[in-house]
Amino acid sequence: MMVKVKVMVNGLPGNVCRMIGAHILKDDRLTLIPYSLTGPEIDIDQITIEGQTVALIGPDSRNARIMTIKDQYGDFISIDFTHPSAVNRNARFYGTFDLPFVMGTTGGDIQHLQDTVLKSSISAVIAPNMAKQIVGLQAMLDYGAKNFPELFQGYQLEVKESHQQDKADTSGTAKAMVAYFNAMGTGFAEDHIQIERDPAVQQTIWGIPEAYLDGHGWHTYKLTSPDGTATFEIRHNINGRSIYTEGILEAVHFLQNKIKNGSRGKVFSMIDLIKASNT
């Protein structure tokens, strides 16, 4: 008989967390715990996902209530998609209460975040990007950056990225990709990344479907030789958030297997997941 993995999604009522919760409810291998840690700015005490009510727990009461939840549900894995300012505080909380977690939130002190897990009795998957295909692409370029440092020497790099209107900062993925190309000789400045946040331009000029204007990530990296006779272009255009949700749920199963095999005080990445899925 298959034993379902119990999962608590923290960061509701955020849109990404709602989507994750909906996917969990449709996955026969998972059980959604009907509670979620939320921020102090949230003024509601519950939400409904696919007909299931989930109670929201603010910072003031979470220490007391988590013990009751643990008594009721036993061992479970937490998925954390809260605000970047809460990343390190949440990691300390998970370590204190022996709650293994998958964290896809960017920001915070990453070194301190990892040290918190390493010094605890729990293990975690921590990654700024949970789409394993994009992470795999980055790994390939990282290999090139380390082994072919002059591959694109003298080439001109052009970088364009488009995300939903409410994303204020430049794409972290685009910045990472620029670093790989620079290590291969391009000498591109991050502030030259072309950023698009205007829905009208995204739809009419870029051709992004209207249904995904409020949730997408389109990236283009174009390399042109000094004499203009050779051009290389890499694109990864993501509509919606399904690819990230799929990666997150894979990370849950990956972490559960690691825990079953005795993993304690370990930090895993999406690269670890990709390697494990190919063995």
Q: Is 269 exposed, middle or buried (0-12, 13-18, 19+ CB in 10 A)?
A: middle
Element (H, E) at 200: helix 199-201
CA atoms within 13 A on the CB side of 231: 6
- pLDDT at residue 44, as a whole number: 94
pTM for the predicted model, two decimal places? 0.87
Q: Residue 138's domain spans which residues? A: 132-239
In a domain, residue 246? The reply is no
H/E segment holding residue 194: strand 194-196
Burial class (CB in 10 A: 0-12, 13-18, 19+), 188: buried
Whether residues 111 and 168 fall in one domain: no
- Return the pLDDT at 86: 84
Is residue 114 located within the same domain as residue 136?
Answer: no
Catalytic, 163? Answer: yes
Could you tell me the maximum CA-CA distance found in the chain, to the nearest angstrom? 68
Q: Are residues 73 and 149 in the same domain?
A: no
In a domain, 251, yes or no: no
Catalytic residue among 160, 167, 175, 222: 167
Same domain (yes/no): 113, 174: no
pLDDT at 106: 64
Residue 56 lies in a domain: yes
Three-state SS string over 101-151 comes to: EEECCCCCCHHHHHHHHHCCCCCEEECCCCCHHHHHHHHHHHHHHHHCCCC
Q: Are residues 161 and 117 in the same domain?
A: no
Residue 16 has a pLDDT of 86
Domains: count for the chain:
2
Would you write out the chain's pLDDT as a tens digit for each of its 279 residues? 567 999 999 999 988 899 999 999 999 999 999 999 998 899 999 999 999 999 999 999 999 999 999 999 999 999 998 777 888 999 999 999 999 999 986 667 888 999 999 999 999 999 888 999 999 999 999 999 999 999 999 999 999 999 999 887 888 889 999 999 999 999 999 999 999 999 999 999 999 999 999 999 999 999 999 999 999 999 999 999 899 999 999 999 999 999 999 999 999 999 999 999 876
Does residue 136 share a domain with residue 210? yes
Same domain, 40 and 91: yes
Q: Does residue 273 lie within any of the structural domains? A: no
The pLDDT of residue 2 is: 64
The CATH number for 204's domain is 3.30.360.10
Is 197 domain-assigned? yes
Write down the pLDDT at residue 278. Answer: 73
Both 143 and 221 in one domain: the answer is yes
Q: Is residue 254 part of a domain?
A: no
List 132, 163, 219, 266, catalytic entry: 163
Burial class (CB in 10 A: 0-12, 13-18, 19+), 85: exposed
